[in-house]
Amino acid sequence: MTIKTTTLGLALAVSVFAGSALTPAPSMAGTVENLERERAIFIETLLDPDATPAEREANIETSKRRLVDLERMVLRDDSLIGRNTPTIKRAFANYDLTFLVHAAAEKNMSVVDNWLEQIGVTTQSLMSASRARR
């Protein structure tokens, strides 16, 4: 072995090590984060102007099933006990917005109606709204 070969091998080993150190470690999202992500997808589906009513309804039903499962997972997640992060505090402080499907079922409302009620959109506010350009 020559010095040139050893130096090349050392340089290759250092670059591989440095490259592996720079790659991000896989992050594990918790149950609350997964629920928030699915809830955001649900709301995006509700507000999608390009979706036909049939597509929207199908996507809402699919998303509702996933939300039910994720809401149950959060409610049963023992690892959340004692964790006092802002995300977890906010999630449980806003039960009706965090657990959309469960809250709607408790109120005997549709999920969409429950969400609109929670954000303050009523039939009266929609009827009195005017369309204008900004």
The pLDDT-based confidence of 14 (bands split at 50, 70, 90) is very low
pTM above threshold 0.85: no
Per-residue pLDDT, 16: 45
Is the pLDDT reported for residue 123 higher than 80?
no
Domain residue spans of the chain: 31-127
The pLDDT-based confidence of 22 (bands split at 50, 70, 90) is very low
Is the pLDDT reported for residue 90 higher than 60?
yes
| Residue 85 identity (one-letter amino acid) | T
What CA dihedral angle connects 114, 119, 122 and 126, to 10 degrees?
A: -130
Per-residue pLDDT, 113: 87
Is the pLDDT reported for residue 105 higher than 50?
yes
Per-residue pLDDT, 71: 93
Per-residue pLDDT, 46: 87
Read off the pLDDT of residues 37-89 as tens digits, 9 standing for 90 and up. 999 999 999 889 899 999 999 999 999 999 999 999 999 998 888 888 888 88
Structure token pair of residue 112: 């969409």
Report CA-CA distances (Å) from 72 to 18, 23, 56, 76, 104.
42, 34, 24, 6, 14
